[in-house]
Amino acid sequence: MKLAAKSALITGITGQDGAYLAKFLLDKGYTVHGLHARRASDTLWRLRHLGIANDVNLIEGDLTDLSSLIRAMEKSAATEVYNLAAQSFVATSWEQPILTANATGVGALNVLEAVRLVNPKARFYQASTSEMFGLIQEAMQSESTPFYPRSPYGVAKLFGHWMTINYRESFGLHASSGILFNHESPLRGIEFVTRKVTDAVARIKQGKQKELRLGNIDAKRDWGFAGDYVEAMWLMLQQDAADDYVIATGKTTTVRDMCQLAFAHVGLKYEDYVVIDPKFYRPAEVEVLLGNPAKAKAKLDWVAKTDLQTLMTMMVEADMARVSRE
């Protein structure tokens, strides 16, 4: 099949991963459709930032509305479906657990069902997450590590993950899950800790903010660049057989060290500005996440290209430019 004949449907196209994936697929000649849930605030800024807002076809719909997903499948004639949409902020999942379960968990099932009903030959990607590992059962987490989610978000994602496996085994769908570890970029939402840090660095450096309040800065995460990770999503759907893959850098870093890198880029010491605020601690903390990407390297020939230093530099520079324009 020629690439130009391929049509992709991306749920969550206005998010960080959706925007990078849309650009990646457009560059490969795909026709790209995106499920777009109407919201009051500006949701298209990421697509504009990447210069592709006019190149994607937006279809109104919502993960919680199966009828709209069926229509989106019919309109897009999608040969590849990427389910990236979710209520994806972990902290919010304790405040809105039922919404998180419906959007993040049952929402994934709704997309799978729409694929099965409209075009069961379409290839499906589910955005799973390292948060499913939660209270880690092994020092380095792989596809065979037992799950122990520690948030309503992690639990909801685990439901979507297992439903993807179930639809693969029950109905023969080419359905794969990417168990992605933390992946960041200048397009990351301000509520996520990496972007919260780089935005604060820019504001403090430019005299518009005096301190940065954070919770557990000794939590360890495996951080990569979202632009690298969307390639892995695509590679999964090009394989003869569907499967599940851990996508990670294989290196873990504390929030504290991440702060040090970000502040040092503008000649500041994080110790002078970071304030520990107990209100930002999670009800159930995930202390360490460290992914083992060996299977992705062996079967997909995928490795993370961007190290944390480069990522922090990229994000700080983008926020310095944003803040200076305000």
Who contacts 211 (Cβ-Cβ below 8 Å, separation ≥6)? 204, 273, 274, 275
Please report where in the chains the tokens 């983008």 appear, as a residue.
Answer: 318
Q: Does residue 211 have an active-site annotation?
A: no
Is 131 exposed, middle or buried, given 0-12, 13-18 or 19+ CB atoms closer than 10 A? buried
Report the alpha-carbon distance of residue 177 to residue 270 in Å, rounded.
Answer: 37
Of 11, 31, 129, 253, the active-site residue reads 129
Q: Is residue 285 flagged as an active site residue?
A: no
Catalytic member of 20, 30, 125, 153: 153
Helix (H) or strand (E) holding 220: strand 220-221
Give yes or no for a contact between 282 and 221, defined as CB atoms under 8 angstroms apart: no
The single-letter DSSP state of residue 129 is E
129 counts as catalytic: yes
Structural tokens at position 224 = 């990569």
The residue written with tokens 């057989």 in the block is 241
Pairing of strands 212-214, 220-221: unpaired
Contacts of 220 by beta carbon, 8 Å cutoff, 6+ apart: 252, 253, 254, 255, 287, 288, 289, 290
CA distance 187 to 84: 15
Nearest to 225 by CA among 248, 245, 192, 244: 248
CB 212 within 8 A of CB 274: yes
Answer for the pair 325, 205: CB distance below 8 angstroms, yes or no: no
The active-site residue, picked from 31, 80, 100, 131, is: 131
Please list the active-site residues: 129, 131, 153
